C-alpha cells in the first residue's frame, strides 16, 4: 500500500522525509512525497488529493477542517529576523506585519509563521 504526503518546497526536509519513510515502512506502507507550493500542499491534503502534509505549523488544522494534527513534531525550525534599521522592534508575528518585506526559510505568509514553531 502507498501513501502520498505533500510538502512545501522548503530546505531541510530530508530528516522529516527519512523519519516518515521509516515509520511507514515499519507498517509495510510505502510513502511518496509530493512537493507543492505551501498553500497548495495544505489544500491537496484537505481535499483528499494527498493523504497528508509532511510538515506544517502547529494550529493549521483549525483553518482546515479535514486535517487532523498528529501531536508528535517531526521537525523544528527557528526563524531569526534580520533588519537593516536599528529601530525595528519584533516581538511577535503581529510586529512582522509592519515590515514591508521579509523572508525566512521562504516563509512569506505572516499569519502562519512564528519565531519558533513545531511542525
Alpha helices in the chain (DSSP H): 14-26, 38-46, 93-96
Q: Which pLDDT score is estimated for 71?
A: 84
**Sole residue written with cell 479535514:** 66
By the 10 Å C-beta count (0-12 exposed, 13-18 middle, 19+ buried), 45 is classed as buried
Instruction: Kindly state the average pLDDT of the residues 31-47.
Output: 93
- The overall average pLDDT reported for the chain is 78
Mean per-residue pLDDT, 81-85: 69
Residue 99 pLDDT > 90, yes or no? Answer: no
pLDDT higher than threshold 70 for residue 100: no
Predicted TM-score (pTM) of the model is 0.63
Amino acid at each position: 500500500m502507498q501513501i502520498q504526503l505533500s510538502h512545501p518546497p522548503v530546505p531541510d526536509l530530508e530528516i522529516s522525509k527519512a523519519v516518515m519513510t521509516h515509520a511507514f515502512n515499519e507498517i509495510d506502507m510505502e510513502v511518496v512525497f509530493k512537493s507543492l507550493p505551501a498553500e497548495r500542499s495544505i489544500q491537496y491534503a484537505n481535499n483528499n488529493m494527498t493523504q497528508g502534509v509532511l510538515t506544517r505549523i502547529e494550529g493549521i488544522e483549525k483553518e482546515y477542517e479535514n486535517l487532523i494534527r498528529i501531536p508528535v513534531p517531526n521537525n523544528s525550525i527557528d526563524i531569526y529576523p534580520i533588519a537593516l534599521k536599528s529601530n525595528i522592534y519584533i516581538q511577535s508575528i503581529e510586529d512582522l506585519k509592519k515590515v514591508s518585506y521579509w523572508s525566512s526559510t521562504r516563509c512569506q505568509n505572516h499569519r502562519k509563521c512564528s519565531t519558533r514553531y513545531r511542525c
